[in-house]
Structure 1
Amino acid sequence: MTTQTSAETAADQGRRAVARSLVASWERQQEAYIAHRETRFDLMLDLVERLSPSGPDRPRILDLACGPGSLSARVLDRFPQADVVAVDLDPLLLTLGRLDHADRERQPTWVRADLRDPGWTGLLPVAPYDAIVSTTALHWLTDEQLATLYRQLYALLVPDGLLLNGDYLPAGRPWGAITTVVREIGESRKDAAISAGADDWETWWSAVRATPELAEEVADHDATFEGTTRGDAPSLELHVRALRDGGFAEVELVWHDLTEGLLCALKTGSSSPER
C-alpha cells in the first residue's frame, strides 16, 4: 500500500467517524422534536410489511427527502433484502448518509434531486415502487408543490402500492386554546430532551459547520438553499385532499401525536407490473 493510499484511507476513515457521530446526534436532535419518533418508524415498517404488494421479502422502497438515511437504515434493518432508493436535495445530508452506511452489506442507492422540480422523477434509477416513505420533510413544500408531488408518487407506485408520510401536520386552526396547549406540551417535551443532552436544530448545524472534513459539503448546502424561505406547512386536511385528488383510493391518518402524524395512502389495482 502506498503512502498516498494510506493517507486517503485514513481520511476516509476520519470522515466516516465524523459522519457516524453527527448522524447519532442527528437522531437525538430529531427525537427532541418528535417525542415518539421510534414508535412512528416501527408503525411505518409494520405497514410496509403487511401492505406491500411484494411482501416483506424484497420490497422496492423509495425513501423521499431521506436526510442522512434514518428511515432507510431502519428499512434495511427490518428488510435486509429490500431495494432502497434514497432521495434528497441536501448534499450535506446525503454525504452523511453515504458515509454512515458505508460499512453496511446492503446500502441504499442515493439520489440527489429537488422534489419541487417536475422532472425529478427522471433521476430515479428504477421504478415502479412497492412503497414510498417519507418522514419529517414534505411540510417544507407549498400546497401546490405537495399536490403535484402526490400525483407523481401515485404514478411511481405499483398497483396496490402504498405511500407513508410521517410528518408535521399542523392543526387546521392555528390559534386557539387547544392549539396553544398542544404547542406548549411540544415545547416542554423538547426542552426536557435538550436538558437531557440532545442538541437542538441550531446547535446541530453549528457542529456541522465547525467540522473541517465537511467544509465542501457545507458550502454546497449553503449555495443550494440560499434564499430559500419556508411558508406555512400544509395542514392535515390539505394532505388528505391532495392524496385523494392525486388518485389514492384509501387515505387514513393511522397515527397522531400533538402535531406529528402518519398518513397511509393506497393505490388500488389488480396486479403489479413486471419489473
Structure 2
Amino acid sequence: MTKPLWDPAQYLRHAGHRARPFADLLARVPALPTQAPRIADLGCGPGNVTALLTERWPAAHVTGFDNSPEMLDEAHTEHEGPTAGGGRLDFAHADARTWTPAEPYDLILSNATLQWVPGHADRFADWISGLRPGGTLAFQVPDNIDAPLHALMRDLAAAPRWKSRLAGVLRHNGSVHAPGAYLDRLARLGCTADVWQTTYFHVLEGEDPVLDWVKGTGLRPALTALADDPEARDAFLAEYRDLLREAYPSAPYGTVLPFRRLFAVAVKEA
C-alpha cells in the first residue's frame, strides 16, 4: 500500500461528519486515573478533533502524533498552545507502526487511523503497557472496506488500464479486523473491553459529494501514485466518479453515504 500524501484542506471539507464518530467514541471513555491526565492522539491529522480532548479534560497535556508533515503543519498553526484549563495541546511527528509510550499515559486514543497501520493489533500490548493502571485505550476505524465506495475503487484500480500503476496501492480487506477479534485481543491483554459498530447515514451536499469525501481519505494512495501524471489522475477520477454516481444516487435533499465504523474502548485493570 502506497504511503499517501495528505491534503488537510480536502480532509476538512467534511469535518463535521468526520468529527461525529470521534465524539461518539469520546462519550464512552470513562473517568481517567489522574486530574491532569496525559493523553496521546495517534494519527491526529489536522488537529481539529484532537482539540476536543482539551474540552473534556481542560487540565490535560494532550499530544497529537502524526506522520504527515502537511497535517502536522495545519495542527501546529491552528491548534497548538496552552489551554484555558491550565493544560497544553501540542503535536509531534510519530508513526503508529513504531510509536511506543515514553511516559505513563492516562488515555491513548486513535481516530480513523489504524486502518492505515498494518499489524496494528500487534501494537496494542505496547500501548496498554504504557497506560497507567485504570487508563484507557480507545480507537475508532472505518469498517466499510466492502462498501461500494471501496469495492468500486479497487475494481477500477485492477482494470487493465490502471493495474500497472495502481496494483497493491489501495487498502485491502485485511486492513480492519472483525469486532470479535479486537475484543478477544484486548481482553487477553488484561483490559475490560467494549467493542461496537455504528452505521452513519451521512447526507452529503454539493456536486459529486461522495467523490469529494473519498478524495480526502481512502482515495489518497491512488491520488499519490498518479500525482506525477495529472492527465491519468483526472481520467481515473472521471471513471471513478461515474461509478460512484450510479452507486450513490443523489436525492432532492442530498446524497446519502452509509458509512459503518468500528469502535473499541479498553480499560486497563486498576
Q: Under a length normalisation based on structure 2, what TM-score does the superposition of the two structures give?
A: 0.58
Q: Counterpart of 2:36?
A: 58
Structure 1 residues 9-59: Cα deviation after superposition (integer angstroms, max 9, x where no partner): xxxxxxxxxxxxx85763333555x5xx42x333333334x33122xx422
CA distance in 2, matches of 1:102, 1:127: 20
Q: Is the 8 A contact 1:251 1:265 kept in 2?
A: yes
Q: Match of 2:28, SS?
A: helix
Q: Match of 1:51, SS?
A: coil
Q: Match of 2:49, SS?
A: helix
Whether 1:241 and 2:181 are equivalent positions in the alignment is no
CA distance in 2, matches of 1:115, 1:267: 20
CA distance in 1, matches of 2:10, 2:170: 25
Q: Counterpart of 2:224?
A: none
Greater strand share, structure number: 2
Q: Match of 2:55, SS?
A: helix
Whether 1:133 and 2:114 are equivalent positions in the alignment is no
AA aligned to 1:28 is: R
CA distance in 2, matches of 1:76, 1:87: 15
Q: Counterpart of 2:22?
A: 41
Q: Match of 1:150, SS?
A: helix
User: What is the CA distance between 1:95 and its match in structure 2?
Assistant: 1.1
User: What is the CA distance between 1:170 and its match in structure 2?
Assistant: 4.0
Q: Match of 1:108, SS?
A: strand
Structure 1 unaligned blocks of 5 or more: 1-21, 175-182, 188-226, 270-275
Greater helix share, structure number: 1
Q: Is the 8 A contact 1:248 1:265 kept in 2?
A: no
CA distance in 1, matches of 2:27, 2:266: 14
The structure 2 residue matched to 1:109, chosen from 74, 90, 97, is: 90
Q: Is the 8 A contact 2:38 2:106 kept in 1?
A: yes
Q: Counterpart of 1:260?
A: 261
- Which ranges of 4 or more aligned residues in structure 1 deviate by more than 6 Å? none
CA distance in 2, matches of 1:67, 1:263: 20
Whether 1:153 and 2:133 are equivalent positions in the alignment is no
CA distance in 2, matches of 1:260, 1:235: 12
Q: Is the 8 A contact 1:63 1:71 kept in 2?
A: no
Identity across matched positions, percent: 25
Count of residue pairs brought into register by the alignment: 183
Q: Is the 8 A contact 1:51 1:162 kept in 2?
A: no
User: What is the CA distance between 1:102 and its match in structure 2?
Assistant: 4.5
Whether 1:100 and 2:81 are equivalent positions in the alignment is no
Structure 1 residues 158-177: Cα deviation after superposition (integer angstroms, max 9, x where no partner): 11111110111248xx5xxx
CA distance in 1, matches of 2:25, 2:77: 25
